[in-house]
Amino acid sequence: MMGVSIPTGLAATLLFRGLSFWLPMAPGWWVSRRITTVPAAAATLDGPLKEYWSADTDTLVRELRSARDGLSSADASGRLRVYGPNQVREHHRLTRARVLVNQLSNPLLLVLIFASAASALTGEWVDAVIVVVIVLATVSIGYIREYQAETAAAALQARVQTQARVLRDARALDVPLEEVVPGDVVLLAAGSLIPADGVILEAADFFVSESVLTGESFPVEKRPGPVAATAALRDRLNCVFLGTNARSGTARCLIVATGLRTQFGAIAHR
């Protein structure tokens, strides 16, 4: 301990002992959480809709309690509460408390706070005050910068919110992508982003780029009609999937799965 103050030596010793005990356990804890914890929304479809690509469209419409001219607004609102928003990851609402917690969870700041407490306990009040001032200044600057950045990002995201064109009350409406629900009938055209997984009801020269899911570089023609239950993802020519986009033509599709129930959602949570 020659040349090292008592607070510094104590802080370093406790930090080393803590890390040497907990750090080797972190990988096993993370793996066990991933294996044993399955989000409820990530559960796959059960029953008759499990292999929906092999069923005829009339059966799917009936099983989803929908219609070829779409859902009613009241029904869609109820399904949104049941199935949750159509998103593959949860978006936490920005709060000042959350930003402050993010700043205080910095391990280096925690070490400084502990060193300040150790200095105060040993009577080194000058060192303790200096460390406290450094911590407060760091937290304040980081808090202001992070909150401003998060606020600007949230405002930008709200302005560029993606819309999907669906049939509600037998009328075509543009709704936020997050509000698309199973049973919705979506209208697609060239340039449209596919809002969720669904089955083609009608199509005219409709080609979709599925490279994000299948790696296929050329657009695939989509058309109505069931395919084999054992068909691979790229062979389900009657289906469209979240994350892909329409290259040409027009189509009307029945949404079967949203959010984490989609093929893209399953990949995102592997």
Tens-place pLDDT, residues 97-107: 888 887 877 78
Reduced to 3 states, what is the DSSP secondary structure of residue 202? strand
Specify whether 213 is located in the same domain as 141.
no
Q: Tokens standing for 42?
A: 């990530």
- Mean per-residue pLDDT, 159-178: 88
CA 195 from centre of chain = 14
Q: What pLDDT shows up at residue 8?
A: 58
Residue ranges making up the domain that contains 185: 49-86+180-268
**138 in Cβ contact with 110 (< 8 Å):** no
Q: What pLDDT shows up at residue 25?
A: 55
What is the spatial distance between Cα 42 and Cα 263, in angstroms, rounded to a whole number?
10
- Decide which of 263 and 131 is more confident: 263
pTM over 0.85: no
Which of 38-47, 145-154, 192-201, 217-226 shows the lowest mean pLDDT across its residues? 38-47
> DSSP E strands: which ranges in 121-259?
163-168, 171-176, 185-189, 197-209, 220-222, 239-240, 245-257
What is the spatial distance between Cα 257 and Cα 183, in angstroms, rounded to a whole number?
9
Residue 41: inside a domain: no
93 pLDDT above the threshold of 70: no
Q: Which residues contact 57 (CB under 8 A, 6 or more apart)?
A: 199, 201, 224, 254
Tell me which range, 22-26, 40-44, 59-63, 149-153, is most confidently predicted by mean pLDDT: 59-63
Q: Tokens standing for 84?
A: 């949750």
**201 in Cβ contact with 223 (< 8 Å):** no
Q: What pLDDT shows up at residue 29?
A: 55
Residue 107: inside a domain: yes
Q: How many structural domains does the chain have? A: 2
Using a pLDDT cut of 90, give the percent of the chain over it.
42
Confidence of residue 47 (pLDDT cuts 50, 70, 90): very low
Looking up tokens 């109505």 gives 224
Residue 38: inside a domain: no
120 exposed, middle or buried (CB, 10 Å; 0-12, 13-18, 19+)? middle
Residue 44: inside a domain: no
Residue 262: inside a domain: yes
Specify whether 215 is located in the same domain as 241.
yes
Specify whether 66 is located in the same domain as 142.
no
Reduced to 3 states, what is the DSSP secondary structure of residue 78? helix
What is the spatial distance between Cα 162 and Cα 179, in angstroms, rounded to a whole number?
11
200 exposed, middle or buried (CB, 10 Å; 0-12, 13-18, 19+)? buried
Which of 26-35, 186-195, 197-206, 223-232 shows the lowest mean pLDDT across its residues? 26-35
Domain boundary among 106, 125, 159: 159
257 pLDDT above the threshold of 80: yes
**259 in Cβ contact with 269 (< 8 Å):** no
CATH number at residue 76: 2.70.150.10
Q: Tokens standing for 108?
A: 């280096």
Specify whether 238 is located in the same domain as 202.
yes
